[in-house]
Amino acid sequence: MPASGAEHTADSPLPIGVERTPTGHAEVDTWIERLGDADRLTTDGHIEVYEDVHRGLRDTLTALDARPVPTLSHNNRR
């Protein structure tokens, strides 16, 4: 059943209805929410959304790997 009072017509796609749970990481959550855009598209439009989300998640994860990790200083001897 369409959410929030949206009406379904014979020509419009039915929403997939997959619940998206926030991860707590803002960038990842933005990409996960982007998946909801597929609900308004026919199946031939889904691939563009999925590829966009995959690219965004991959870039986000790559950026996490690229951040410098703080190191402990061994100069704390007195």
The tens digit of pLDDT for each residue in 35-64 reads 989 888 888 999 999 999 999 999 999 998
State if pTM tops 0.85.
no
The tens digit of pLDDT for each residue in 62-77 reads 998 886 767 776 665 5
Contact residues for 49 (Cβ-Cβ < 8 A; gap 6+): 34, 35, 37, 38, 41
3 state DSSP class of 69: coil
The tens digit of pLDDT for each residue in 13-22 reads 777 777 889 9
- Count of CA atoms in the C-beta half-sphere (13 A) of 70: 2
DSSP letter (8 states) at residue 47:
H
DSSP letter (8 states) at residue 67:
S
- Count of CA atoms in the C-beta half-sphere (13 A) of 75: 2
